[in-house]
Amino acid sequence: MKRLVLIDGHAIIHRAYHAYPALTTPNGESSQAAYGFVAILLRVTSQLQPSHLAVCFDLPVATFRHEAYIAYQAHRPTTAPDLVDQIEMVKGVVEVSGIPVYTAAGFEADDVIGTLAKQAVKSEQANGASEGVDEVVIVTGDRDIMQLVNDKKGVSVYAPINGMSNARLVHENEVKEYVGVTPDKIVDYKALIGDSSDNYPGVPGIGPKTAQSLLEKFGSLEEIYRKLEEGKGKLDGVAESVTAKLVAGKDSAFLSLHLARIATHAPVSLDLERAEIKDLAKNEHFLQKLKELGFKSLIARIGGMASENNQMELL
C-alpha cells in the first residue's frame, strides 16, 4: 500500500516548542522545538510506515487571506527569536534528510498540504489513472486541517495528543470529537463562530452550540442564508434573536467562510518519486546533523529502528 505522509512543519515546530522543556545544543542554542520535530519525524516513519514523505512550511509573507481581510492573524505576537532560529534549524535537518519540502508564496502550509493531498490520492487522478497513493496522512496539531479528512479518499490526520507524548490517527468519525462537527461542515462552522486564533469574526454572537444546531438543521451556510432570504429574515424553528444576528453578520459570515476554507489550488506540484521514503539510519549527513545538535537519544532511537527493520527482514 502506498501511503503519503505530509508533515505540517510550522504546526509541529510550534507544538514542540511549548511541549518540551528547554533544551540547548552543545553550542548553547535553544533546540527543544527542533528536538520535538525530529522525534515526531522518527515516530511517524516508525508507526505509519509511509512509502512517501514530504514536509510543508509557511513562508514569512502575506497570503491571500491577509489580502482579503487586513486583520487576519493581526493580533498574533511576534515570533520569539529562539523559535525563529529553531525553525531554520529544523529546515536544515530536513534538507540533509533528503525529504522534499513544499512551500507556496501567498498560501499557508495548510493550503499546500490540501493541494498535495488532492494531487496524491488515486481517486483524484484523471481518467482513473493508477498513479497516486492509497492513503494520505497529515501530521499536524492544527484542527482546522481536519476539514480535509475524507475516509473515501483515504485522507486522515495524525494528531499529537498530551503535548507531544502520544498521537492518534483521526478519521471522519473522530473529527467531531475534536471540532464539534463532521469534516464537511468545518468550514461552515468556522464561518459562523469565527476563529480567535486567526482573528476572523464569523457571525458576532453565534457560539458553537448554536452553530452546530443551525448546521444540523440546514446543512450549510449557503442553505442557512437561502432559507433566511426565503423567510424574509426568519427561519422556522430558530429564535428571532439568532436570525437577527445572522442577518446583521451575513457579510462577515461569507468573508469568514472564504478565510476558513483550505485552498487546494496552490502553485505546487507533487513529485512522488522525490517523496519516496529514505532510510534515515543510512543517511550519514542526517546522523551527523543530529550529532552536531546533541540529539544523542534520537540517534540511539534511529539505531533501534534500524535494528528492528533488519530483524523483520530476516523473518
Number of folded domains in the chain? 2
**Which pLDDT does position 160 carry in this prediction?**
86
Q: Is 315 domain-assigned?
A: no
Distance CA 283, CA 280 (A): 5
Give the CATH number, domain containing residue 10.
3.40.50.1010
Same domain? 226 vs 278? no
Q: Is 309 domain-assigned?
A: no
Same domain? 32 vs 130? yes
**Which pLDDT does position 311 carry in this prediction?**
40
**Which pLDDT does position 85 carry in this prediction?**
97
Same domain? 242 vs 297? no
| pTM attached to this predicted model | 0.92
Give the CATH number, domain containing residue 204.
1.10.150.20
Long-range Cβ contacts of 66-75 (<8 Å, 24+ apart): 68/255, 68/258, 68/259, 69/200, 69/255, 69/259, 71/199, 71/200, 72/198, 72/199, 72/200, 72/259, 73/198, 73/199, 74/199, 75/199
Residues 281-313, buried b or exposed e (16+ Cβ, 10 A)?
Answer: bebeebbebbeebbbeebbebbeebeeeeeeee
Distance CA 301, CA 231 (A): 63
Same domain? 287 vs 252? no
Nearest Cα to 266, choosing from 56, 120, 115, 118? 115
Distance CA 154, CA 67 (A): 33
Distance CA 259, CA 191 (A): 8
Could you give the C-alpha distances from 274 to 49, 52, 259, in angstroms and in order?
17, 8, 31
Q: How many residues does the chain have?
A: 315
Q: Alpha-carbon torsion 96, 97, 100, 105, what sign? A: negative
Same domain? 227 vs 100? no
Q: Is 232 domain-assigned?
A: yes
Amino acid (1-letter code) at residue 244:
A
Non-local CB neighbours of 138 within 8 Å, separated by 6+ positions: 5, 6, 8, 113, 117, 145, 148, 155, 156, 157, 158
Same domain? 59 vs 84? yes
**Which pLDDT does position 123 carry in this prediction?**
65
**Which pLDDT does position 231 carry in this prediction?**
87
Q: Is 41 domain-assigned?
A: yes
Same domain? 9 vs 158? yes
Same domain? 124 vs 195? no
* C-alpha torsion angle, residues 24, 94, 303, 282 (rounded to 10): -140
Same domain? 97 vs 16? yes
Q: Which domain holds residue 215?
A: 184-260
Q: Is 93 domain-assigned?
A: yes
Same domain? 171 vs 272? yes
Ordered per-residue pLDDT tens for the chain, 315 residues: 999 999 999 999 999 999 999 999 999 999 999 999 999 999 999 999 999 999 999 999 999 999 999 999 998 889 999 999 999 999 999 999 999 999 999 999 999 999 999 999 976 665 555 579 999 999 999 999 999 999 999 999 999 887 677 889 999 999 999 999 999 999 999 999 999 999 999 999 999 999 999 999 999 999 999 999 998 888 989 999 999 999 999 999 999 999 999 999 999 999 999 999 999 999 999 999 999 999 999 999 997 554 444 443 333
Distance CA 193, CA 181 (A): 12
Same domain? 54 vs 103? yes
Same domain? 229 vs 291? no
**Which pLDDT does position 166 carry in this prediction?**
83
